[in-house]
Structures are given as C-alpha cells and as structure tokens.
Copies of this chain bind each other. A is one copy, B any other.
Amino acid sequence: MNKKNSVFIATSLDGYIADKNGGVDWLHSIPNPDNDDMGYLEFTNSIDAIVMGRTTFETVCGFDVDWPYTKPVFVLSNTLHEIPQSYKGKAYLVKGKLTEILEEIYAKGLFRLYIDGGTTIRNFLKADLIDEMIITTIPVLLGGGIPLFTELPKSLDFECAAAKLFLGKVVQNRFVRRR
C-alpha cells in the first residue's frame, strides 16, 4: 500500500483557516442549498485514518453532534494524558516525533492519512511530510485571521493536479508534492 499524507481543508481567498476572532462562519458564506459536501465524503472514504492536533480534537469534541469520523483518529499531543472515556476506541493519543508517530500508525496497517488542524498541518509541512493538499478556496478576503501556511525552513514544490468549481463560485484545487 502506498503511503500518503493528505490535507483536505478550506481557506479564505487570503489563506486564512479562521477569521480574526477565530470564527469560521465565512465557510458558509456561499449558499449551498443542497449541502454539496465538495468531495469530503469521497475523500474520507479514500483514507485509512485521521491525524489531528489536540486543539482540533477538543474543538470536534465540543461540537454538539455525534462523533463525525468513521476512521480511527490519532490525536497528537504532548500535554493530554489520556483520551476522554467516551472517545476511547475512536480516538488514540500519540506522542513524540512525527516520523515515529507515522511508523506507529503504519504498523497498524493504516497508510493513507488525513492530516488535519492548522498546527498539525504546519508541523507536517515543516518536516516535508505532506504529499497532497486539497484546498477549497472560499472566495472571501477576510483581511486577517489564522493563516494556513507559515514560515518553512525550505520551499516545497507541488503541482496542481486538478481544479474544480463547486456551487458555481467556490474553487477546489488539488496540489500534489513534486519530489
């Protein structure tokens, strides 16, 4: 099985994943009457597991909805001591170096990983561990907020493998790492 670390995320036109107040209401600024998932289900069907940071995990736990994932979720944290009881069997705590964590996940037969959460994505990019990024651009200039991308120790070449319009207004571009 080929190993692949993928990002599937929405950003504003100016590259933010949350606005100045940490809000994400702008994600829904384009009317979506038929709840087009813009490829999310197809994407999640193609992956074996999810890797996310503690902040994203706690945000998802705080949503007033059922646990949204059908695949195992690995939560990166050096501060969390254990996964809360109600998420055991669904989410697993992992600690340490990213490469060691990946080996631990691969050892379970899970190779196609969905890397989620701003800090986690940035840390994977800093270590050049991202193979693919599917970025949905919500066409709004927020003018400030939490950026998806930050400083990198070296530049990383990708190529755009696909560009698709949703709802006639939202573009989703798929970038693949060129190595």
Q: Identify the A interface with B (CB < 8 A).
A: 13-15, 19, 26, 29-30, 125, 137, 139-144, 149-165, 168-171, 173, 175, 178
Among B125, B152, B170, contact of A160 (Cβ-Cβ < 8 Å): B170
Give Cα A34–Cα B139 distance, bound, in whole angstroms: 31
A30: chain B residues at CB < 8 Å are 159
Given A15-B15, A173-B137, A175-B13, do A152 and B144 touch, yes or no (CB 8 Å)? yes
Give Cα A29–Cα B178 distance, bound, in whole angstroms: 11
Taking the closest CB of chain B, its distance from the CB of A21, in whole angstroms, is 12
A157: chain B residues at CB < 8 Å are 29, 139-140
Taking the closest CB of chain B, its distance from the CB of A19, in whole angstroms, is 8
A156: chain B residues at CB < 8 Å are 140-141, 143
Minimum-distance CB pairs A-B, first 7 = A143-B152, A159-B169, A14-B149, A163-B163, A139-B158, A160-B171, A141-B156
